[in-house]
Every structure is written in structure tokens, then in C-alpha cells.
Amino acid sequence: MMSPKHNVDLFDITFLGAGPTGLFGAFYAGLREMKVKIIDALPQPGGQLIALYPEKMIYDAPGFPAILAKELAACLTEQASQWEPFMALGERAINLTRAPLPGDDDGQECWILETDKDVHYSRAVVIAAGIGAFRPTKLNNESIALFEGNGVEYWVKDVNDYAGMRVLIVGGGDSAVDWSLALEPIAEHVTLIHRREGFRAHDTSVNALMESSVDTRIFYELREFQGDESLKRAVLFDNRTDDETTIDVDAGILALGFKADLGPIREWGLETIGRRYIKVNSKMETNLPGVYAAGDVALQEELDPLNLIVVGYGQVTVAVNYAYAAIKPGEKVFPGHSSERMPE
């Protein structure tokens, strides 16, 4: 549901980001009977779980021994939706300012969050923007551009799209290894190339890769994609000898990681740490009063990043409870136990 243009409806708390952190935060804010809004640039909730690795198994989500990323996103969305938060999806945040609420005779100030489609008003804001604006890392190779979106992709939206195909995966991190294993039973053949020895992936995944039927070639790189209207072949080379090999492929997946940046958020007057992180304190407060940050985008100066879903859950819970006490003077930070508040 889209909000009407220049809707002056004031929300208690607005989450910028509908990934795991934002969705769990929205649930928790609903639990505290706050009026909740969620804004996200993607057209559906789930964040990285949906956009980058929907078919990847998640093993560190509390309560699930193992769960597909897209299924976890669905569970989190269902959990948050029971409180009927307003979801403004497909909107990219551009600006954040503090000013009196339009039409309010008392001059009540609020946070005004402008997107590329609308204007939103909130007493508190929680930035749960994950890794921020992200774009795939690309190779400097003219042949790749010829087949982007027509055989060459940077992530897998649905593994079933590759049924019966000959797939080449380029990369050496978790995504490359995970996609190789996920596609092995579905594709006709999977080849994985990595330019050096050693993978930047979980040991259990690498061990599974070595025991699989995936044609894994280290010290190999892509020289050229070939085809006519669609991708047909890939020319590989051994970077130790420069010897070339041509293989038949129907699809190429360049799992080379992503470059993240805070984008317009960097211009909002927030204190940051490097290009990726918003500086927060132990209450998850930023330097702007009433603005909090949680999840992968947030970092306390004295700590190392722990970009884990479970950490985001804890951080956004802290943010919500302190935001609740801040916008409702006299109320306690501690919410009581959920068993006392959830409907039967």
C-alpha cells in the first residue's frame, strides 16, 4: 500500500530498511503498541535475504536449525505484519530533516523523511539500512556487458531458473560457494572458477564443495564470454600459465561481492565510521536525537563489526525500547515479557 502524497500522518517510529533488522524492529515496536512505518527501496520486504541470496540456507537464525533466506524473510514479514505496520516499499530515502509537523498548531517537531516518491513524518527513526546502497563488484571485461541480463547475472533470484543449464560461477567467497552447492542438483553442470588458492567461505561449505560434483578450478579466470543472441561459451585461462580453455555455458553468475555505501544517508549530518557505518552508542542512538541505527549499518566506535542477523535483532530491540521511553515521557525502557503482552 502506498501512502498519499504529502501525508502528514505522524508515526511513532519509522524503520528505514525492511531487512531482518527492520522487520524484527517493526514487530517489537508493535509489541510496545507504537504506530509503525517501514520504508525500503526494494519492492518487497526481506532486504538482502531476498535481493541477494533468497535460496541460501541460513544456519544462525534463532529457532531454526536451518532455513532458506526467502523463508526467513517470509516469517519475519508475517511476524511484523500482525501489528499492521504501514509499509512504503519501492521508495528510496533521500533526505532527513527535523521541523514542525505541518498543520500542527502546537509547533510539535518531528523527523521528516523524504523519499523519491513521498514525504513521511515520524517521532523517531531507526536506520536499519543493512549495507546501505549496494552494487555488485564487476570485472573490467567488455564481453560481460554484452550478456548482462541475458545469461549473465550477479546473484540468483530463483535456483529453478537454472534447471538443466550449464552454469559458470566466478568467485571465491560465501556466495560463490553457496550458489555452486545450491545449483549442483538442479543444473546440468556447474563450473566454479577462482583466481587463487583458498576460498573466503565457511569451512563446512568449502568441504562440501570439494566433495561435490562441481567442477572447481582454482587459479582460473574469465577471459571472455561468447555467444550470439544469448550466452553460449566462456573462455577461461589459467593465470599461472595463460593456457586457455573454452567451455559451453548457458549462464554465468559473477559472485564477486558487493560494494556498499551509505548513499544519501551520508548527507544527513550523522556521525559515521568509514564509508559504511553510522556511529552509535550503547543505546543505539546516533548523534541526532531521536534517530537510531541498528544492524549491519550501525557500529560502536570501540567495537569490531559483527554483521550477523542475530546481532541486528538485539540491536534493534535496544533501539526500539529506548526510542519508546524517549517519545513517551515517564514510560519505562524495559517492556516486560512478551508472554504478558502477545495476544492469545
Query: Distance (Å, rounded) from C-alpha 256 to C-alpha 326?
Result: 42
- Position 342 scores a pLDDT of 58
Q: What does the alpha-carbon distance between residue 291 and residue 268 come to, in Å, rounded to a whole number?
A: 11
pLDDT at 3 over 50: no
Residue-wise pLDDT for 114-168, tens only, equals 999 999 999 999 999 987 766 788 999 999 999 998 999 988 878 899 999 999 9
Residues 160/289, Cβ–Cβ less than 8 Å: no
Q: How far apart are CA 248 and CA 108, in angstroms?
A: 65
> pLDDT tens digits for 28-81?
999 999 999 999 988 889 988 887 777 778 989 999 999 999 999 999 999 999
| Number of Cβ within a 10 Å radius of residue 310 | 12
* CB-CB contact of 132 with 298 (8 Å): no
**Residue 319 cell numbers, joined:** 533501539
Do domains 10-133+259-340 and 138-256 share one topology? The answer is yes
CATH topology (fold) of 10-133+259-340: FAD/NAD(P)-binding domain (3.50.50)
Residue type, 127: I
Q: What is the mean pLDDT of residues 188-196?
A: 97
Asked if residue 79 lies in contact with residue 59, where contact means CB atoms within 8 angstroms, the answer is: no
Percent of the chain with pLDDT over 90: 74
Q: CB under 8 Å to 246, separation ≥6 — which residues?
A: 226, 233, 234, 235, 236
CATH topology classification for 138-256: FAD/NAD(P)-binding domain (3.50.50)
Chain-wide mean pLDDT for the chain? Answer: 91
215-245 residue pLDDT tens: 999 999 999 999 998 999 999 999 999 999 9
Quick: pLDDT tens for 116-128. Answer: 999 999 999 999 9
Residue extents of the structural domains in the chain? 10-133+259-340, 138-256
Dist. CA 128–CA 307, nearest whole Å: 12
Task: Give which of 172, 233, 224, 178 is closest to 205, Cα–Cα.
Answer: 178
